[in-house]
Amino acid sequence: MKKTLLIVLLAGLGLNASAQTSHANTLKLFKLMGTEKNANAMADNMKAMFSQTMAKADPKRAQEMSAIMASEIKTLAPKLIADMVPIYEKHFTARELQKYIDFYSTPEGQKMVNLGPVLQKEMMSSMMTKYIPEMQKRMAAKMLETKKK
């Protein structure tokens, strides 16, 4: 009986240590991926786009609102990262997480991380100029159509 209890206890400790290692590795991956830094950069990009979009109607209010929005996103980022840990651990094995850690530890991985905000800004700019105006027109037309019914 004592032997069985000892085995169960040791197995439980092993699982707990494994979960802690996985948790630590997930956080390490997020740090290597620049998750919080990229979220903050995304907030700044969104602030600029939002401000630019609203500037026509009310420039002062646009700056105030975009600053508030960016601040809220930056405050939310650490909370979202904490929520992401169990989600990543649910979908990725410890081995897979380690492979991502290995990649993001390389110069190529860090280049990807460092270019993330630049790529995102360029994609957002392209989207705002190429697709959003036409989408807004289609949405306005559909809303008018809906009102008529």
Assigned domain for 144 exists? no
Output the pTM of the full model: 0.61
CA–CA dist 88, 26 (Å, integer): 7
Assigned domain for 55 exists? yes
Query: Which single residue is written with the structure tokens 């600053």?
Result: 67
Low-confidence ranges of the chain (pLDDT < 50): 5-6, 8-10, 13-18
Q: What pLDDT, on a 0 to 100 scale, did the predictor assign at position 3?
A: 58
Domains in the chain: how many in total?
A: 1
Assigned domain for 140 exists? no
Assigned domain for 142 exists? no
Assigned domain for 13 exists? yes
Give the residue numbers spanning the domain of 36. Answer: 2-135
